[in-house]
Amino acid sequence: MSRLVLALLFLFHAGTDAEQALGVLHIKVVVSDSSGTAMPVPRHALLISDNPASAPPRRVLTTLDGTVDVRLAPGNYTVESDRPVAFDGKAYQWTQLVDVVAGRDAVIELTSGNAEVVAVTDAAASVTSPSETDPSSLLARWQGSLVQIWTATQHGSGFLIDPAGLVAADQQVIGGATVVEVQVSAQVKVAGAVIASDPMRGVALIRIDPEIAALLKPLPLECERPVEPLTVGQEIAALELGLGRPPGSSAGSIDSVLANVLDTDLLPTPGGTGGPAFAPNGRLIGLTTIVTARSGQRDLRGRIVRAGRICELVSTVAAKMNQAPPSAAHLPVELAQPQTTSTGEPARAGNLSLYRMSSSDFDITFITPALLKAAAGAQEGRTRDRGGRAPGADEIAERLLTDFANWSDYVAGSPPVLLVRVTPKLVEGFWTKVARGAAMTQGMAIGPIKRLKPDFASMRVFCGDAAVVPVHPFKLEHRVSDDDTLVEGLYAFDPGAIAPSCASVTLRLSSEKDPAKSDTAIVDAKVVERIWQDLAPWHLVK
């Protein structure tokens, strides 16, 4: 055997042995609030040094659940906080020794009980000015207050301000809605009643059942305390539950201070407005919103509606809080993504053949994750110059599968749902036909002049005689002109909602023009079967 081969074998075995010799250190960081509830500390920076030190410390960050796993060579290590974490008026920091053994797991749990604890006001003398507005501290303390708000046209954040079930939200998200969906966890979503929505204040108040509110941690408004003094340039922080994102935090500074709002460089993520914002001392100062870009402005601007405006609106709803709360019944939620998608999606790869049908007033398209994937691939791989030609069938299919207006960000996340898109038909009116006929008698050939039927209002789906509750009843809003908006329906359903086992699948549709009138359509059994096959990867996910 040559020396080169021997050398390569030696290096391979040496590398394999070194890999096997490593141990895994599991670290968890939690602190307890005044009630003894343990709260994970996300994004807490830790320094890991070997003893005796042979290299600079290794810096790691905990994840959103307050944990981090590190692979280390055998030896003795010091694990210490890079800087303290402020929580409930105290600053916590840790220094722990741990032995790592080859091929074994070691565990360290850093808690309130084994931390060095000092008051935040005293901490500046010994550490680098810990602040209650450290985003990781705020997220650890208040992420249990956050909820997601779903309306027909928008998504936003909100936060519980009263254990009786009162939630504060961005009025721009709520709009004119009277009922919204409030999601308090991945598994729990309920109806919320909008009991106040004030465009002037920029605040909406939503009520949920107190039993559901008990799953959350109230974030007190402290309306009786003096207004928090704030200045331009002061650092602030905010929390949010953005669309398709885990709980998050962000930091920024104040650009201008007004009596009712603060302009800031802190910009919420898409679908994240309505989260709580905090002053440097950790006190709630309001909720986040955005200012829509005006003509000549390139970007949106972040703004905070001050807490006093929330307090003003809360004082007007006392009587409504004495009324019966909304139902605590759980609404459908999205399933987790399947571990494998070996069934369904490959069979549809590149195939944009739509599952379509029509009723009297609407065109209906059934959209599965496999169809969305095929459309994304077709759009990415095609460059075209239509040169004024009418769009072909493939282009129309692509538009139906890629243009989702105000819910484009949601669909781009490949949600594990069946989407049913309902589009008002293009029709030619009776008198238009008469006018065209009269023109033809004079030798003038005029093509059909079509207009859209009335906008979509609502849909009900039935499996046999049983109503199927959607995961989300969305509406798509397309701006046609300054004064006109086309409204489509986009309902998201559980992957098992429409099944071959249904005796029949019936859709009952209504328009804005006549909401009380139903336009009925029965889905062909072959279409139901094809949809079921597309969604097969999700049928076993629970």
Delimit the domains of the chain by residue range: 21-130, 140-321, 345-538
Q: Is the pLDDT of residue 174 over 70?
A: yes
Task: Please report, as a single letter, which amino acid is at residue 184.
Answer: V
Among 51-55, 196-200, 529-533, which stretch is predicted with the lowest mean pLDDT?
Answer: 51-55
How high is the pLDDT of residue 432? Answer: 43
Return the biggest CA–CA distance within the chain.
101
Report residue 226's pLDDT band, with 50, 70 and 90 as the boundaries: confident
CA distance 141 to 67: 16
How is residue 324 annotated by DSSP?
P
Q: Is 268 helix (H, G, I), strand (E, B) or coil?
A: coil
Q: Is the pLDDT of residue 220 over 60?
A: yes
Task: Please report, as a single letter, which amino acid is at residue 24.
Answer: V
Report residue 82's pLDDT band, with 50, 70 and 90 as the boundaries: confident
pTM assigned to the model: 0.74
Report residue 18's pLDDT band, with 50, 70 and 90 as the boundaries: very low
88 vs 200 pLDDT, higher one: 200
CA distance 218 to 225: 17
How high is the pLDDT of residue 11? Answer: 39
Among 289-293, 373-377, 496-500, which stretch is predicted with the lowest mean pLDDT?
Answer: 373-377
pLDDT one-digit tens code per residue, 418-463: 999 999 987 544 444 444 455 556 656 555 555 567 889 999 999 9
Sheet order of strands, 58-61 included: 58-61, 45-51, 75-81, 95-100
The C-alpha angle 150, 152, 344, rounded to 5 degrees, equals 85
Give the contacts of 487 (CB within 8 A, at least 6 positions apart). 424, 455, 456, 475, 476, 477, 478, 512
How high is the pLDDT of residue 541? Answer: 59
How high is the pLDDT of residue 391? Answer: 53
Q: Is the pLDDT of residue 113 over 50?
A: yes
CB 106 within 8 A of CB 100: yes
Q: Spell out the SS3 assignment of 407-441.
A: HHHHHHCCCCCEEEEEEECEECCHHHHHHHHHHHH
pLDDT, average across residues 90-117:
91
Cross-strand pairs, 276? 287
Report residue 393's pLDDT band, with 50, 70 and 90 as the boundaries: low
How high is the pLDDT of residue 434? Answer: 45
Q: Is the pLDDT of residue 479 over 60?
A: yes
Q: Is the pLDDT of residue 192 over 60?
A: yes
Q: Is the pLDDT of residue 163 over 60?
A: yes
Q: Where does 192-239 have alpha helices with state H? A: 210-213
Best CA proximity match to 217, nearest among 138, 145, 139: 145
388 vs 101 pLDDT, higher one: 101
Best CA proximity match to 368, nearest among 393, 340, 396, 349: 349
CA distance 493 to 514: 25
pLDDT, average across residues 299-313:
91
Q: Most confidently modeled of 122-131, 209-218, 277-286, 444-453? A: 209-218
How high is the pLDDT of residue 377? Answer: 67
* DSSP H or E run through 307: helix 307-314
CA distance 46 to 83: 8
The gap from C-alpha 455 to its chain's centroid, in whole angstroms, comes to: 27
Report residue 485's pLDDT band, with 50, 70 and 90 as the boundaries: confident
Task: Please report, as a single letter, which amino acid is at residue 492.
Answer: A
CA distance 217 to 160: 7
How high is the pLDDT of residue 349? Answer: 46
How high is the pLDDT of residue 252? Answer: 87
CB 239 within 8 A of CB 138: yes
Fold of 140-321: Thrombin, subunit H (2.40.10)
How high is the pLDDT of residue 65? Answer: 76
Report residue 379's pLDDT band, with 50, 70 and 90 as the boundaries: low
Proportion of the chain above pLDDT 70, given as a percent: 78
CA distance 478 to 485: 5
Q: Residue for token digits 């007004």?
A: 258
pLDDT, average across residues 483-505:
91
Best CA proximity match to 79, nearest among 101, 102, 100: 100
CA distance 371 to 352: 7
CB 129 within 8 A of CB 135: no
* CA trace torsion 166, 172, 176, 179 (10° rounding): -40
pLDDT one-digit tens code per residue, 343-358: 444 444 445 678 899 9
Helix crossing, 369-381 with 393-402: angle to 10°? 120
Q: How many residues does the chain have?
A: 542
Query: Hey, CA dihedral for 234, 238, 243, 248, is it positive or negative?
Result: positive
Q: Do domains 21-130 and 140-321 have the same CATH topology?
A: no
Give the contacts of 314 (CB within 8 A, at least 6 positions apart). 161, 162, 166, 205, 221, 223
Tokens of 468: 């199927």
Q: Is the pLDDT of residue 76 over 90?
A: yes
427 vs 67 pLDDT, higher one: 67
Q: Is the pLDDT of residue 110 over 90?
A: yes
pLDDT one-digit tens code per residue, 464-473: 999 999 999 9
How high is the pLDDT of residue 194? Answer: 97
How high is the pLDDT of residue 540? Answer: 65
Q: First and final CA of the chain: distance in angstroms? A: 56
Q: Is the pLDDT of residue 75 over 80?
A: yes
Tokens of 166: 């009162």
451 vs 124 pLDDT, higher one: 451
What letters, b where the CB count within 10 A reaches 16 and e where it falls short, cover 519-529? bebebeeebbe
Q: Is the pLDDT of residue 372 over 90?
A: no
Average pLDDT over the chain reads 82
How high is the pLDDT of residue 189? Answer: 97
Fold of 21-130: Immunoglobulin-like (2.60.40)
Among 118-127, 228-237, 401-410, 475-484, which stretch is predicted with the lowest mean pLDDT?
Answer: 118-127
CA distance 111 to 27: 11
Tokens of 232: 């331009």
CA distance 533 to 356: 16
Q: Is the pLDDT of residue 397 over 90?
A: no
How high is the pLDDT of residue 300? Answer: 75
